[in-house]
Structure 1
Amino acid sequence: MTDWKEYKVSDLLDSKSLAIGDGYRAKNSELSNTGLPFARAGNINEGFDFANADCFPVEDISKVGEKVSRVGDIVFTSKGTVGRFAYVDESALRFVYSPQLCYWRSLNKKWIHPRFLFYWMQGKEFYSQVDAVKGQTDMADYVSLSDQRRMKITLPPLPEQQAIAEVLSSLDDKIDLLHRQNETLEALAETLFRQWFVEEAAESWESGIVTDLVDLNPRRSLSKETVAPYLEMSNLSNELYHPHDWYDRIFTSGTKFINGDTLLARITPCLENGKTAYVDFLKAGEVGWGSTEFIVMRTREPLHPFFSYILARHSDFRNFAIGCMVGSSGRQRADVDNLATYEMKLPPPDVIKRFNKHIEPSLQKMKLNNDQIRTLTRLRDALLPKLMSGEMRVDTAEAETAIAS
């Protein structure tokens, strides 16, 4: 690591090798339904999700100056939930930065490799400097532009920056590919559900309610003081079935679940945001637990267990669940007794058999992908600090990556 050199960020800014900026302070009257996405912190988390973002009109884009994304930018949430990142690659939509975000932009790519900069910002040197300043006010965590400009950064020669970036980005690319495969498979499953159980539901099908097909909050047993897998609400995805993470924790009180259960967030705004999960990450016979704000849904046989998950994602069912919410403003929860009255057509055996046949291979593939995602993510997270500190050489990291892949 003798050829790594520490720089003051301010010197890199002065030499026009690096730019750091924050977002445009837009008035509500300036935003629109069309134009470039107006990116806020909620749109950023290891990527971009602009599905519900406001837009900034293209005809007014001259107002924002440099506060428009460029390929190679590293996006950093600097207010509230500090420390989420995204990299602007060629596939990303062009967007306008809001004041909740900052960007770091390499202006001299012969000196600072953008991808290396992205990974450096997720490493110990950057995090330690962020931690030292983010809690200095009585308000929510905040890292100002002045704080960032006073930081220091350690850089190896450009060839090593590039080699490190290639190792880590190859893992991220594989993870992203597996995620996209799962998005496609899950979308196909939702399409089958909508076609077979909604659009093509025959008048001759028996009418019923959701509890004819799904048990709500079935009893599960887990003794106090037992160490068991714990799932936080924050680790449920808004779009996909697999949770982001879980960990072992001593059971006290909470919702209990087993493999094959669906977890539906019942509290605002988690329900409206789409937080839902299908449990397939436990060991055989294992019972997990989590937030008391989960509704557990268990499909009745002979329907495939994944049916309850797809039902929970179905817009009509979710809107009904939102309509079942009771309680004071800001702490409303879906009432399970009301949810149990959701009316639906009951599919005949031949449709159930056809659905089960199509779903099982897709679910097996998604499970395999998720297991690989978890392995690759752990490897990336283990390699990143070692590569960024110079503790591990690139050739060693490449060998470990090849084994995992």
Structure 2
Amino acid sequence: MSEWKGYKLGEVIDIFGGGTPKTSVFEYWDGSIPWLSVADFNSGKKFVFSTEKCISELGLNNSSTKLLNKNDIIISARGTVGAIAMLGKQMAFNQSCYGIRAKREFATNDYIYYLLKDTVDRFLQISHGGVFDTITRDTFQEIDILLPPLPEQKEIASVLSSLDDKIDLLHRQNETLEAMAGTRFRKWFVEEVGDDWEEKVITDLFEIRDGTHDSPKQKDAGKPLLTSKHILNNRLDIENAYLISNEDFENVNRRSKVETNDILFSMIGTIGLVYLEQSTEINYCIKNIGLFKTSQNPKWSYYTYLWLKSSVGQEFIHKNRSGSTQEYISLGSLRSIVFSVPHIEVIEEFNVTVKPLFDRLKNNSDQIRTLEKLRDSLLPKLMSDDGEVRVEYDKQRGSK
């Protein structure tokens, strides 16, 4: 007989709402308390350690935001519903999220984190759509769950955490590799600009296009259609893109096919996220994404990628962004980019120095995807009481 017990999700967790201090009061925003928005943790990583903005104690005390503890859980509740992370340290958060903390008599935070990831589809089904999809406190009461005994919860979370720890290590290695490549770019092409360097209009080197403007119908099977929100740090969120028919896939690719050594650029929403496609097997297409066709002139792939991520590129992006409700950067603006560069021989020499870094980045990213697929395949099996995959634990001591 199964020892797993049934509950409503809302019964076994405490739920905290967020808030935003008044942006017009400078003193609310000159502190050191990290303040989360969805953009800070919508990366697929288990832990979030840093935020774009910080608030003061005064801002905390004069708004509805709450302070979550290290290892508490954050979930996005509006717009991009169902992004989930655990906190690497104390943080406050905005009103588009909920803070979650397991009730100790029922569950652990680690287990609830994985349980929430396993129930994201149900959040999406239940979310109440208007202009934006939204989950409310009542949504948590609509979701039925089964909980194993606490010792079994700890072992299940331990198995999944061991995979996430390896994934996190590879992500941190990639961040270091990116920083090393960025440092070399800055020294070669920003700090030591020569008087004899040429100005090159980017479209004289290769084309810049964008993805389809059409809206192909979603299918149960087919090819992934990526939008700007699927460009993450050093990777693409292909698994959460919706699928389109093979016929629509071919139609999109007539205009904006992604090839090896091309660069993807987020043009809408969170502007300026960049991804260099190093794979030789590309089975997705794009919508409303900037496409730098550096495959037409591969000598410029590393330079262009690092320029877009550099202080020079970020300043260009900031100056050329438009929109109020939703920010964007136009294709015309991207086509107006001008590089100040030395002779091509210097570019080729630079490529030799950074290629090993990008090779390691790709290898790590491939490993991350493999580990994520393993974790995601294990997740629903471990979260089920049907016995397909079970962990061993000592019922008396709560350990293996």
Asked if these proteins are the same fold (TM beyond 0.5), I'd say: yes
Name the structure 2 match of 1:34: 31
Write out per-residue CA displacement over residues 285-328 of structure 1, whole angstroms, 9 at most, x where no aligned residue.
Answer: x6864225423241776836322211222232343355456899
Name the structure 2 match of 1:209: 200
Bigger shift: 287-296 or 163-172?
A: 287-296
Using the alignment, how far apart are the partners of 2:64 and 2:317 within structure 1? Answer: 44
Change (3 A) 1:316 1:339: farther
Name the structure 1 match of 2:397: none
Using the alignment, how far apart are the partners of 1:228 and 1:10 within structure 2? Answer: 36
Name the structure 2 match of 1:260: 261
Using the alignment, how far apart are the partners of 2:325 and 2:57 within structure 1? Answer: 37
Once the two structures are TM-superposed, the CA of residue 8 in structure 1 deviates from its matched residue by: 4.2
Indicate yes or no: 2:171 matched with 1:140.
no
Matching of residues 394-405 of structure 1 within 5 Å:
394-395=390-391
Name the structure 1 match of 2:74: 75
SS in 2 for 1:362: helix
SS in 2 for 1:122: helix
Using the alignment, how far apart are the partners of 1:122 and 1:233 within structure 2? Answer: 22
Name the structure 2 match of 1:402: none
Identity fraction in percent:
27
Using the alignment, how far apart are the partners of 1:10 and 1:325 within structure 2? Answer: 41
Indicate yes or no: 2:14 matched with 1:19.
yes
Unaligned runs of 5+ in 2: 211-221, 393-400
Using the alignment, how far apart are the partners of 1:362 and 1:40 within structure 2? Answer: 31
Using the alignment, how far apart are the partners of 1:280 and 1:360 within structure 2? Answer: 11
CA contact (8 A) 2:265 2:290 kept: yes
Name the structure 2 match of 1:244: 237
Change (3 A) 1:24 1:369: same
Write out per-residue CA displacement over residues 321-352 of structure 1, whole angstroms, 9 at most, x where no aligned residue.
Answer: 55456899967643448734614032452x33
CA contact (8 A) 2:18 2:65 kept: no
Residue among 155, 171, 192 paired with 1:163: 155
Once the two structures are TM-superposed, the CA of residue 52 in structure 1 deviates from its matched residue by: 2.6
Change (3 A) 1:141 1:218: closer
Indicate yes or no: 2:102 matched with 1:106.
yes
Using the alignment, how far apart are the partners of 1:147 and 1:280 within structure 2? Answer: 41
Name the structure 1 match of 2:358: 363
SS in 1 for 2:238: coil
Q: How many residues are treated as equivalent by the alignment?
A: 368
Using the alignment, how far apart are the partners of 1:383 and 1:228 within structure 2? Answer: 24
Once the two structures are TM-superposed, the CA of residue 230 in structure 1 deviates from its matched residue by: 4.7
Name the structure 2 match of 1:196: 188
CA contact (8 A) 2:20 2:65 kept: no
Using the alignment, how far apart are the partners of 1:325 and 1:98 within structure 2? Answer: 24
Matching of residues 298-317 of structure 1 within 5 Å:
298=294, 303=299, 305-317=301-313
Residue among 381, 388, 391 paired with 2:383: 388
TM-score between both structures, scaled by the size of structure 2 = 0.79
Change (3 A) 1:115 1:305: same
Name the structure 2 match of 1:184: 176
Using the alignment, how far apart are the partners of 1:277 and 1:320 within structure 2? Answer: 18
Unaligned runs of 5+ in 1: 13-17, 220-226, 397-405
Write out per-residue CA displacement over residues 240-270 of structure 1, whole angstroms, 9 at most, x where no aligned residue.
Answer: 3x323277753223422210112234x4444
- CA RMSD of the aligned region, Å? 3.5
Indicate yes or no: 2:48 matched with 1:48.
yes
SS in 2 for 1:375: helix
TM-score between both structures, scaled by the size of structure 1 = 0.78
Name the structure 2 match of 1:6: 6
